Structure 1
Amino acid sequence: MENERVQTGVRGLDPILNGGLIRNSLYLLKGAPGTGKTTIGLQFLLEGARRGEKCLYLGLSETRGQVDALASSFGWSTDGVEVHDMRRRGEAEQQRGAYTVFSPHEVELEEISKEILAQVDRVQPSRLVLDSLSEIRLLADDSFRYRRALLRLGDQIAGRNCTGLLIDVDTEPGQGVVAETLVSGVLELEQLSPDYGGDRRRLRVRKLRASQSVGGYHDMEIGAGGVHVFPRLVASQHRTMHSSSEVLSGIAELDRLLGGGLDRGTSTVLVGPAGTGKSTIAAQFVARAASRGEKGAILCFDESPTNLLIRTTGLGIPLRSHVEAGTVEVRAVDPAEMSPGQLSDSVRQLVEEDHRIVVLDSLNGYINAMPGERFLAAHLHELLAYLSEKGVATLLTLAQHGFVASSESPFNISYIADTVLLFRYFEVAGEVRQALSVVKKRTGGHERTIRELRFEPSGVVVGEPLLKFQGIFSGIPQILDPDALRAKRGSSER
């Protein structure tokens, strides 16, 4: 028979724990001050109170007033939770002089243990939070007494049909191991300070007895609703069958260049210098999909959604009307305040809302704001693999350095992408033009030609193949038929 689960009340945590904590077990929640331990403990108890369960908070390091203040900062009420203040203040110091045979620490430790059990017997809670173990560890004075005290306390609580969270702060290496060996699970919280942007918090399940869990680090934040954990995305857990139909742009020449359009469940990188039309082409695909009734989303890392809508409207792309109709969502993303886990969670929500085409515009802003993320490439690989499993067409824009003779991209994602669209500026007879070509398509054939790309009030225009030029990607092509070019310029001037 499968173990009965207890929901934690923390958004995103239960999926990591395979459905929640195992009932009538003790768990250790540890981390540095400010990582969210007490907040998670309160959410755990408030979830129990919401379900009609008896809940008890024993505060060894937090007073009743501090607990109430923390709860009210999130708009919560502790009315359904029994809060018992166990902090020792001046009275303990005054009584120590009276101890002659036994150490004051031993007497106080015994008194605390008795008081904990007395409160558990009085309330008979289904859920318990003990905050924190640091007071018991200090009174125990050595690891042997500490282990003995925790072992006795754990055995007595476990026999009272209670699921408990024991909160502890990070200690010197080796000191916290005592508690970890006596509990059914260990949840570790961390707070990171990147060189730029806000602090980042993350959670890791270090131990979970008799249950599976999603391993690794999971990003988390403390927001208006308390702690929100973003489970690490594992693409292999989301495998589904999907259609292999093509996603068209609505521009016949562009679709021919792509060998019939983009394929569902594939990722496409639009790479080239700034201003060559990458975001516009991506918006064209989204607008075309929306005209067929498919939902799409554009996550803007650099350009504001307002500017994007103004620009596309000026080019005759009806993106704004689809946004107003609710078919397309254009969302601004601040990468300095968003962790990779939050990005994955945002994309996953879009997919669950049945968005069939997603644009990340652009990767440059995301990469530049997160220079300290060592595994950003692995994260993007997992994200694209997840979108592929869900049959979502993904477009990513990536700006290269320079304008005419572009250098390498700041981030090599071409090996991950299924299709690569290359954009270029080139100069002909004193005029700057734009060109477009498909240099990779993993899922099928495509044109090997280079076509001119123009943006006019009537819309996006993809011209015929540029067969009269050679060396277009160098920025300064050679003219293979100069007489024809002069005749064309003369007719345009007239």
Structure 2
Amino acid sequence: MTPTVSSRVSSGVPGFDVLLGGGFPAGRMYLLEGRPGTGKTTFALHFCRAAVEAGERVLYVTLSQRRDELLAIADSHGWDLEGVDVLDVESGGLDLHASDHTLFPAGDVDLVDLMDTVLGAVGSVRPARLVLDSAAELRLLSGDGLRSRRRFLALKHALGQRDVTTLLLDDYSASDGDSAVYSIMHGVVRLERDAPQYGQVYRRLQIPKIRGVDHPTGYHDFRILHGGLEVYPSLTMRLKDEGADERAEAGEVGASRSSRIDGLDAMLDGGLDPGASCVVVGVSGTGKSSLAASYAVAAAEGGAPAAIYTFDERKRTLLDRMEGLGYDLRSMGDVLQVQELSASIMTTGRFIDRVHRDVEAGVRLVVIDSLTGFTHACPGADRAASQLHDLLAYLGGRGVVTLLTVPEHGLLGDATAPQIDISYVADTVLLLQHYEARGEIRKAIAVVKRRRGGHDRRVRQFVMSDDGMAVGDAITDYQGVLTGLAAFVDGTSL
């Protein structure tokens, strides 16, 4: 019986099947490649456990490691391999060191025996799924490229006739992208890892090829923890599959959001627009985080769940500072989440997945503090920019208001541009600045941009005290306030 085109088998890896629209097409052979330590064996064990959970027979043929080593890997994740048939070929007596044979060409001595052993086990176990670990040993026995291609092709046809879904593991450093093997496989999944100078290892995967499946291109973050792999699909695919634009057009537009700060809502002609993204720019100490958090508090007090994701400071510090301004975030319970994140261990893919889950669970306003923390969690400014664009597009499509703080360098700011340009994705831009007036450091606020509707174009005073935050009168006596170097309008320097 030949599997239908719509038949799918689950990989068992959380988040991965979404990339393929439900799993691997059944009855085909797939290459899972990656350098040592990328998680190939763990992925394969997920694949086996998914088969057992589905009531299917599964066979794991190991050529590169002993059975006890495989069991140790499973045990490290708290798994047992009950229901998984394991064939340890090397322990079974076959000699895999083809280079030791001198009378006959490589591949003529043990490869046929190996193929017979594998196919014999398949005939005996009659598995629905098969894992071959790994292609490097098969390539070693096959010798030259033409013989290798023929053997892999013969193996693929033999397994295809038995309707077996096969996962072939390969060391990418050994194959260097073997085009002969690639052309034979129905699909290819590549696991990658990058070890930074500081912080946790950064892992990502891509799917260079899957025949007959409309799969997302590009990279997707994943991590390995106790319990296996977790994959975080890119939002590009989520936007397509979940129809964010269609849902927005159907009426999921959310609500406008107030800061409940005297004068600020008036500057914005009532508040932030539904689904809008607001960037709060300013140097250190101007009140960016506090101002952004005030929107989260106002939303929560109005019954709309909100979430603050802080990369730049401890949760306790944020709560204490807001309490000093008269905002009791601790008493708001689950309606206002404050999540402390570390850019050294939180990748952007994982962060975006967390935001996605929270929004789907009901969060209606999001604060990201700050852009610097977000970009540090992502290797590469270009990728950070595209991921941020996708995130804001998703949140806007859900009618969620988003505030993003962007620190300027120095105490008074300078001309140094941020690592990524976010001006084109921002619906509203608020600028905070210190300025000196008569020997006193004061704060100023201005609405630099508002995409929808009008706004107050005057620079106003911004005050933070025990009584909270407030926007004061327009600053008309000085010019150059937003540069941090104010001067009297008559030209007398301060």
What amino acid maps onto 2:309 in structure 1? L
Return the letter of the residue paired with 1:327. Answer: V
Q: 2-side partners of 1:335 and 1:370: how far apart?
A: 8
Cα offset, 1:57, TM superposition: 0.6
Aligned to 2:109, the other structure's residue is in SS state helix
Q: 1:114 to 1:204 in 2, by over 3 A?
A: same
TM-superposed CA distance for 1:101, in Å, is: 7.3
Shift of 1:459: 1.4
Name the aligned partner's letter for residue 153 of structure 2. Answer: L
Q: If the length of structure 1 is used for normalisation, what is the TM-score?
A: 0.91
Paired position in structure 2 for 1:465: 474
- Where does residue 274 of structure 1 map in the other structure? 284
SS at match of 1:78: coil
- Which of 160, 163, 166 is residue 164 of structure 1 equivalent to? 166
Contact 1:41 1:165 in 2 (8 A): yes
| Percent of aligned pairs with the same amino acid | 40
1:66 is displaced (CA, Å) by: 0.8
Distance 2:11 2:373 in 1: 35
Distance 1:474 1:61 in 2: 64
1:184 to 169, 180, 186: 186
Distance in 2 (alpha carbons) for counterparts of 1:95 and 1:350: 55
The aligned amino acid for 2:439 is G
User: What's 2:434 paired with?
Assistant: 425
Counterpart-to-counterpart distance in 1, 2:150 and 2:257: 65
Which of 346, 356, 366 is the equivalent residue of 1:348? 356
- For structure 2, the residue ranges without an aligned partner over 5 or more in a row are none
Amino acid in the other structure paired with 1:435 = A
Instruction: Tell me the amino acid that sits aligned with residue 56 of structure 2.
Output: E
Aligned residue in 1 for 2:316 = 306
Q: Secondary structure at the match of 2:158?
A: helix
CA 1:127/1:444 → structure 2, altered by over 3 Å: closer, same or farther? same
State the alpha-carbon separation in 1 of the partners of residues 97 and 260 from structure 2: 83
Residues 254-333 of structure 1 correspond to what in structure 2 (within 5 A)?
254-322=264-332, 325-333=333-341
Contact 1:336 1:370 in 2 (8 A): no
Q: Which amino acid aligns with 1:440?
A: K
* Cα deviations by residue, 1:331-360 (Å, 9 ceiling, x for unpaired): 111112222211221211111111111111
Which residue matches 1:85?
88
Point out 4+ residue stretches in structure 1 off by more than 6 angstroms.
93-97
TM-score (norm 2): 0.91
**Cα deviation code 1:251-279 (max 9, x no counterpart):** 24110011110012111110011110110
CA distance in 2, matches of 1:417, 1:95: 62
CA contact (8 A) 1:399 1:409 kept: no
Q: Whole-Å Cα distance in 2 between the matches of residues 49 and 23 of structure 1?
A: 15
Give the total of aligned pairs. Answer: 479
1:402 CA drift (Å): 2.1
SS at match of 1:181: helix
C-alpha RMSD of the superposition: 2.4
1:433 counterpart letter in structure 2: R
Partner Cα distance (1:153, 1:52) in 2: 25
Correspondence for 2:20? 17
1:24, CA displacement in angstroms?
Answer: 1.1
Maintained 8 Å contact 1:219/1:229:
yes
CA distance in 1, matches of 2:94, 2:176: 32
Partner residue of 1:146 out of 145, 148, 151: 148
Structure 1 residue 244, shift from structure 2 partner: 5.4
Q: Which residue pairs with 1:388 in the alignment?
A: 396
Q: 2:224 aligns with which of 222, 228, 235?
A: 222
Distance 1:384 1:268 in 2: 10
User: In 2, Cα distance between the equivalents of 1:119 and 1:459?
Assistant: 73
- Could you tell me which residue of structure 1 aligns to residue 253 of structure 2? 243
Q: Distance in 2 between matches of 1:436 and 1:39?
A: 53
Q: Which residue of 1 aligns with 2:44?
A: 41
Conservation of the 8 A alpha-carbon contact between 2:343 and 2:373: yes
Cα distance change of structure 1 residues 310 and 101 upon mapping to structure 2, 3 Å threshold: closer
Shift of 1:134: 0.9
* 341-350 or 363-372, larger mean C-alpha shift: 363-372
Tell me, yes or no, if the aligned pair for 2:282 and 2:413 is still in contact at 8 Å: no
Q: Is the 8 A contact 2:98 2:140 kept in 1?
A: no
CA separation of 1:263 and 1:199: change in aligned 2, threshold 3 A: same
Mapped contact 2:364–2:400 kept (Cα < 8 A): yes
| CA distance in 2: counterparts of 1:2 and 1:453, whole angstroms | 63
Larger Rg over CA atoms: 1
